[in-house]
């Protein structure tokens, strides 16, 4: 049976807005197809084997927790993560996650938190929070569709020359409230501000990440279509709550 090996980073510190729900979606969408998810959790002080995982997940967190995590990431995991990223492993890093995937995050107190540098983005806290429903159109070459979620961040993220946005903002603020971009991507890495959790309402994105992870593990990547009508309804409701006509 094909198995996707998932590394869940800092599940205790980085889990606001039920981001752990994204893991449940990965597991269930594989199970429905007779495939399996192996989950390994990594916390403060744990080291990582860069060849042992196909998919790396990091959720969002409060600035206080993010500070602890940022220093630990750089001290114990950054080299392995950079090597995994360059070897084609898949990444989904949400909110505080996209900030720590970049070169760094200057938080609201002016403190500079280091990032691991797998995405060419940099983040600086602004003087207001960017909050609300968020709808984007993805610009990924594999996937052009609407993706919905919720954002709540003080950080403003700017893309460098080596990062593409995940998508363009249809409704909401996105990376910085000005550029019209949301998230960032490079290779098989996705960083985004979309919480909610993201994947229950956006199964197409879940399947893209799973197909990348399967490819990394040397497995067939064709995923049987599933009945996603409930998720489609949830997306319509979220889009209308964001102010878009049904
Ligand atoms: N601390 C970050 C910010 O407010 C991330 C918040 C989050 O992960 N929700 O910008």
Which is the closest atom of ligand 1 to the Cα of 63?
1
pLDDT at 196 > cutoff 90? no
Q: Is 63 in the pocket of ligand 1 (CB under 6 A)?
A: yes
Q: pLDDT digit string (tens) for 4-46?
A: 999 999 999 998 878 889 999 999 999 999 999 999 999 999 9
pLDDT at 246: 58
Lookup: tokens for 56: 């790396």
pLDDT at 89 > cutoff 70? yes
Report d(CA 6, CA 45) in Å as an integer. Answer: 18
Report d(CA 210, CA 197) in Å as an integer. Answer: 17
pLDDT at 205 > cutoff 70? yes
Q: pLDDT digit string (tens) for 220-237?
A: 999 999 999 999 999 999
Catalytic residue among 53, 153, 173, 195: 195
pLDDT at 63: 87
What 3 state SS string does 178-216 have?
Answer: CCCEECEEECCEEEECCECCCCCCCHHHHHHHHHHHHHH
95 catalytic? Reply is yes
Catalytic residue among 95, 153, 173, 216: 95
195 catalytic? Reply is yes
pLDDT at 245: 73
pLDDT at 45: 98
Question: According to CATH, what is the number of the domain 3-241?
Answer: 3.40.50.880
Report d(CA 111, CA 67) in Å as an integer. Answer: 9
Q: Whose CA is nearest to atom 5 of ligand 1?
A: 96
Using DSSP's 3-state secondary structure scheme, residue 29 falls into helix
Name the pTM for this structure. 0.97
Q: Is 152 in the pocket of ligand 1 (CB under 6 A)?
A: yes
Rounded distance from Cα 163 to ligand 1 centre (Å): 20
Rounded distance from Cα 92 to ligand 1 centre (Å): 16
pLDDT at 110: 95
Q: What is the mean pLDDT of the chain?
A: 96
Q: Is 66 in the pocket of ligand 1 (CB under 6 A)?
A: yes
Q: pLDDT digit string (tens) for 164-178?
A: 999 999 999 999 999
């Amino acid at each position: 049976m094909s198995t996707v090996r998932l590394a869940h980073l800092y599940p205790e510190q980085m889990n606001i807005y039920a981001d752990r729900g994204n893991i449940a979606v990965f597991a269930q969408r594989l199970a429905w197809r007779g495939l399996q998810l192996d989950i390994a959790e990594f916390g403060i002080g744990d080291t990582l084997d860069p060849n042992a995982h196909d998919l790396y997940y990091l959720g969002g967190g409060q600035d206080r927790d993010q500070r602890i995590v940022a220093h630990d990431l750089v001290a114990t995991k950054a080299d392995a993560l950079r090597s995994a990223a360059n070897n084609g492993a898949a990444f989904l890093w949400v909110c505080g996650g996209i900030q720590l995937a970049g070169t760094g995050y200057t938080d609201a107190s002016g403190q500079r938190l280091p990032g691991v540098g797998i995405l060419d983005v940099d983040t600086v806290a602004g003087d207001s929070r960017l909050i609300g429903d968020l709808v984007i159109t993805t610009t990924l070459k594999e996937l052009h569709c609407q993706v919905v979620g919720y954002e709540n961040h003080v950080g403003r993220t700017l893309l460098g020359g080596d990062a593409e946005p995940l998508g363009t903002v249809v409704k909401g603020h996105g990376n910085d409230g000005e550029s019209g971009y949301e998230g960032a991507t490079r290779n098989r890495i996705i960083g985004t501000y979309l919480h909610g959790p993201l994947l229950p309402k956006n199964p197409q994105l879940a399947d893209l990440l799973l197909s990348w992870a399967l490819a990394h593990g040397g497995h067939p990547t064709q995923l049987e279509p599933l009945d996603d009508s409930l998720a489609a309804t949830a997306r319509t409701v979220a889009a209308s709550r964001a102010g878009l006509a049904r």
